[in-house]
Amino acid sequence: MIELSEVHGGYGERMVVRGVSLRVERGEFFALLGPNGSGKTTLLQLITGLLPPARGSVLLDGRPACEYSAIERARLVTVLGQEERISFDFTVEEIVALGRYPHQRGWFAALTREDRAAVEEAMELTQVSAYRHTAFRRLSGGEKQRVLLAKALAQQPKLLLLDEPTNHLDLHHAYGMLSLLKERQRTQGLTVLAILHDLNMAAMFADRAAILDGGGAVAEAGAPSSLLRRTERIGSIYRMELSAVAHPAVPAAQLHAVPAPESGGQALAWRLESSDGITRIAFDRAVRTLSNAAHGAGFQWTRHICFAGKLAGEQAVGPEPTPDELLTARGIPPETAVVLEGADSAGEPTIVRKSGPTPVEAVAAGGRGSLRLCVIVGGGMSDGGFAGALLAAGEAAARAIADAGDNRAAGEPGAVRSIAVAGLPMSGGDAQRERELSPSVSQAVYEAVSAAIQGGAYEV
């Protein structure tokens, strides 16, 4: 549908786009990414033929873009720019109806039944029908953007070019617009080329993407989620440190900015506090946790890891309080807490500390009914490091429980009902150090769980 070959272009002597070669297939959703000033809008003008290339070729549907007449181009391509100025005081319906101009015959042709159906459908899809008689100039920036999208859809093009289409839109309408375009792509074979600044949105909606570097050349191209995993390369283009994670609901990668580390390094300080039937670990700063907790499961940021028996703690009258209500009643903000719940009272916790290149602290609470376990790792870890530590902790706890069961004097041992690993994140992590971490985690957890089953001392 679009084929660029070694395209150079710009304004006068200033070349903004340098040597760009791209191919956008028919029926594809293609995202054009890059920092401000990288040449994205200029490239769009070269594709539409509004700007002739200084060198190279631009083909639209197999023909050079410069060979299309204005009407031919309008029937094939619609462009939704960043800002479109409307000089006359048109209503919303009149603006959308302008999209039918390429399909009309004669200078003063009236709208046909087909034209009116296309206008109505476009307004319904973009949710602007309620404004049909409202003057365009009276709308907000986001409403204007939706009206202009309706105009573009009413034109019924084969190729839709969009320059920052989510500009001025709130989160709901931004996702709604891209979802609408994705649906038109799937159901009607619409080809979409969109300049986007939000790389995470591009990963969710685009089939392929290209990133322009600061020099007007293509730095990377391919599937968006694959591109986003190249954090060092993309970080160098945007001049910042980035970290890629998996989206929790759809098969797409997402990027997060990584700020400069806080002063104080990777050392963690914490204290134990007990009140109202809950024992908690209170950290000096927010830590990352991975757990199967009753409250705060999965990856979370927290400042409190709470050990509890049945969360109610006391005999309550009426419905049992929710974890949020119980934490709030104890002065603990629920959004900052992980609760490790068990079948018996939390009991006096057992703590085992293992020093080394990466210090590990294991805290086990509970007894023969069930135990709660927290592993605190000093130093930064990647997501894989957290998962490895959680796996090592679970295996060591199971071994300690099995060994205690072989001891007749110990009676029937309990089970570890919930586990949390706490530490600080590190972009990329240190794979060698994380592999060496497992033995320390295993030993600390084994000793802590064994002592907790035996009713051991407060600290080992």
What is the model's pLDDT at position 457? 37
pLDDT tens, 164-201?
988 888 999 999 999 999 999 999 999 999 999 999 99
Please say whether the beta carbons of 270 and 283 come within 8 A.
yes
Q: In the predicted model, what is the mean pLDDT of residues 83-95?
A: 79
The answer to whether residue 264 scores a pLDDT higher than 60 is no
Q: Which residues of 205-216 are buried (b: 16+ CB within 10 A; e: fewer)?
A: bbbbbbbbbbeb
Mean pLDDT of the chain: 85
DSSP-derived letter for residue 409 is G
Task: List, for residues 210-259, the tens digit of each pLDDT value.
Answer: 999 977 888 888 999 999 999 999 999 999 988 888 898 889 999 998 87
pLDDT value, residue 414: 63
Q: What is the pLDDT of residue 316?
A: 47
Would you say residue 310 has pLDDT above 60? Answer: no
pLDDT for 456 = 47
Kindly tell me if the per-residue pLDDT of 393 is higher than 70. Answer: yes
Q: Mean of the pLDDT values across residues 321-342? A: 85
Residue ranges of domains in the chain = 2-257, 270-453
User: pLDDT tens for residues 96-140?
Assistant: 999 888 877 655 567 888 999 999 999 999 999 999 999 998 998
Distance CA 32, CA 40 (A): 7
Q: Tell me the pTM.
A: 0.81
Average pLDDT over residues 383-401: 92
Report which residue type is found at 159: L
Q: The dihedral of CA 147, 149, 153, 155: what is its sign? A: positive
Share above pLDDT 90 across residues of the chain, in percent, rounded to a whole number: 50
- Asked whether residue 309 carries a pLDDT value surpassing 70, the answer given is no
Could you tell me the pLDDT band of residue 278, with boundaries at 50, 70 and 90? confident
Instruction: Give backbone dihedrals phi and psi of 74, rounded to 5 degrees, phi first.
Output: -70, -30
> What architecture (CATH level 2) is domain 2-257?
3-Layer(aba) Sandwich (3.40)
**In 34-150, where do the E strands start and end?**
55-60, 63-64, 77-80
